[in-house]
Amino acid sequence: MNRPEILRWLREGRPSDLKTLWSRADAARRKNVGDAVHLRGLVEISNHCVRSCAYCGINRAHRGITRYRMTAHEVLACARQAVGLGYGTVVLQAGEDPGLRRAAVADLVRRIKKDTGLAVTLSLGERDDGDLVAWKQAGADRYLLRFETSNPDLYARIHPSLPGRPSDRFALLRRLRALGYEVGSGVMIGIPGQTYESLADDIETFARLDLDMIGVGPYLPHPATPLGRGGLPLLPAREQVPNTELMTYKVVALARLVAPESNIPATTALATLNRTHGRELGLSRGANVVMPNLTPPRYRVLYEIYPGKACVQETATQCGFCLKERIHRLGRHVGAGPGSRRRSASALPA
Ligand code: SAH
Mean pLDDT, rounded, for 143-152: 98
Q: Check pocket membership of 172 for ligand 1, CB cut-off 6 A.
A: no
Mean pLDDT, rounded, for 105-134: 98
Closest ligand 1 atom to Cα of 148: 15
- Per-residue pLDDT of 23-50, as tens digits, reads 999 999 999 999 999 999 999 999 999 9
Å from CA of 123 to ligand 1 middle: 10
pTM of the entire predicted model: 0.96
Q: Check pocket membership of 190 for ligand 1, CB cut-off 6 A.
A: no
State CA 221 to chain mean position distance: 17
Q: DSSP label at 342?
A: P
Please give the helix or strand (H or E) that residue 82 lies within, else none: helix 72-84
- 185 phi/psi in degrees, rounded to 5: -150, -170
CB 268 within 8 A of CB 300: no
- Please count the CA atoms within 13 angstroms of the CA of 264 that sit on its side-chain side: 40
Name, in order, each residue with C-beta under 8 angstroms of 140's C-beta and a sequence gap of 6 or more. Answer: 109, 120, 121, 122, 181
CA torsion sign for 126, 212, 112, 217 is: positive
> Which amino acid does the sequence have at 136?
K
Nearest to residue 148, comparing CAs of 186, 111, 115? 186
Domains defined for the chain, CATH in brackets: 3-336 (3.20.20.70)
Judged against a pLDDT cut of 90, whether residue 192 lies above it is answered with yes
What angle in degrees, to the nearest 10, is found between the helix axes of 15-33 and 245-258? 40
Helices (H) and strands (E) in the chain, counts: 13, 8
Within 10 angstroms of residue 146's Cβ, the number of other Cβ atoms is 17
Judged against a pLDDT cut of 80, whether residue 5 lies above it is answered with yes
Q: Check pocket membership of 95 for ligand 1, CB cut-off 6 A.
A: yes
pLDDT for the residue numbered 348: 53
